[in-house]
């Protein structure tokens, strides 16, 4: 996983609450058996006016000129600003893969759905939760000022505005460490392999039915 330390990036505003993972990456693209290449189909149904198919070249598809990611001023954005409950719905990790592949490394919202929030950390995306009043203010600034950028620093846990003001955000210490270092969760967990084995053995003795290896009696 790529580490995340600090990013100064252009902000794109997606002014909707409850953006679900079906909207982030529609289901037909979930047929891929790869982790990459989802960027061109991010927000596919909002971005294009036709219906996209997996494997299709998107360069000549008709685009919806009003959708924010199609506006010239937001090209190259790395920070997505949005509303509450972002990423609700399906557990598909294709959603963060698509956001990452498109170029987003930070998503700022009032709140996130749990599974999506988790999936972000596994993929080097930093989800930042800010209070509604600060989100409102950021939306106002982004739309008023073309080329609006923010500085996001994970170590300091701050979002720094162009005028130098810093907004603080919370993040779990363990997730922060992992993201700052780009650590692989599995490698970290396997350091506890002995403990896992011991736990498993105890459980096997106490509740052997959980460890059946075949369908008994059929």
Partner 1 sequence: MPQNLYDKLWQSHVVHEESDGTALIYIDRHLVHEVTSPQAFEGLKLTGRKPWRISSIVATADHNTPTNHWERGIEDPVSRLQVETLDANIREVGALAYFPFMDRRQGVVHVVGPENGVTLPGMTVVCGDSHTSTHGAFGCMALGIGTSEVEHVLATQCLLQKKSKAMLYRVDGTLGKGVTAKDVALAIIGRIGTAGGTGYAIEFGGSTIRQLSVEARMTLCNMAIEAGARMGFIAVDERTIEYLKGRPFAPKGEQWDAAVDHWRTLHSDEGAVFDCVLEMRAEDIQPQVTWGTSPEMVVSIGDRVPDPSREMDIARREGMERALHYMGLKANTPISEIVIDKVFIGSCTNSRIEDLRAAASILKGRKVSGSVKLALAVPGSGLVKKQAELEGLDKIFIDAGFEWREAGCSMCLAMNADRLETGERCASTSNRNFEGRQGAGGRTHLVSPEMAAAAAIAGHFTDVRDLL
Binding site for partner 1 (CB under 8 A): 16-18, 20, 22-23, 26-28, 30-35, 45, 51, 54-55, 83-85, 88-93, 96, 111, 113-115, 118-119, 122-123, 172-175, 185-186, 189-190, 192-193, 195-196, 199-200, 203, 207-218
Least gap, CB of 179 to partner 1 (angstroms): 13
What are the residues whose beta carbons fall under 8 Å from the beta carbon of 181, sequence distance 6 or more?
3
CA 75 to chain centre: 19
Other CB atoms within 10 Å distance of the CB of residue 30: 17
Alpha carbons 166 and 116: distance in angstroms, whole number: 26
**Closest CB to partner 1 among residues 90, 158:** 90
**Closest CB to partner 1 among residues 60, 213:** 213
Least gap, CB of 90 to partner 1 (angstroms): 5
Least gap, CB of 191 to partner 1 (angstroms): 9
Query: How much is the CA Rg of the chain, to the nearest whole Å?
Result: 20
Q: Give, in order, the Cα–Cα distances in Å from 184 to each of 106, 180, 181, 188, 191.
A: 19, 11, 9, 6, 12
Least gap, CB of 167 to partner 1 (angstroms): 20
82 three-class SS: strand
Least gap, CB of 72 to partner 1 (angstroms): 24
Torsions phi, psi of 127, nearest 5?
A: -90, 125
**Closest CB to partner 1 among residues 8, 200:** 200
**Closest CB to partner 1 among residues 10, 105:** 105
């Amino acid at each position: 996983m790529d580490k995340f330390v600090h990013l100064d990036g252009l902000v794109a505003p997606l002014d909707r609450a409850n953006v679900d993972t079906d909207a982030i990456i529609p289901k037909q693209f979930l047929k891929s058996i790869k982790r990459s290449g989802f960027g061109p189909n991010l927000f596919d149904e909002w971005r294009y006016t036709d219906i996209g198919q997996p494997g299709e070249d998107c360069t000549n598809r008709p685009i919806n000129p009003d959708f924010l990611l199609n506006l010239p001023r937001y090209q190259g954005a790395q920070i997505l600003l949005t509303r509450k409950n972002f990423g609700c719905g399906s557990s598909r990790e294709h959603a963060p893969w698509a956001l990452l592949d498109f170029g987003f490394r930070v998503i700022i919202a009032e709140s996130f759905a749990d599974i999506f929030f988790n999936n972000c950390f596994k993929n080097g995306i930093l989800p930042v939760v800010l209070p509604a009043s600060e989100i409102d203010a950021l939306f106002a600034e982004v739309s008023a000022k073309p080329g609006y950028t923010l500085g996001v620093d994970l170590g300091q846990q701050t979002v720094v505005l162009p005028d130098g003001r810093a907004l603080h955000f919370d993040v779990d210490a363990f997730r922060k460490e992992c993201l700052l270092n780009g650590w692989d969760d599995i490698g970290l967990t396997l350091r506890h392999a002995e403990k896992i084995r011991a736990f498993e053995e105890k459980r096997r003795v106490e509740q052997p039915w959980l460890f059946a290896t075949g369908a008994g009696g059929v």
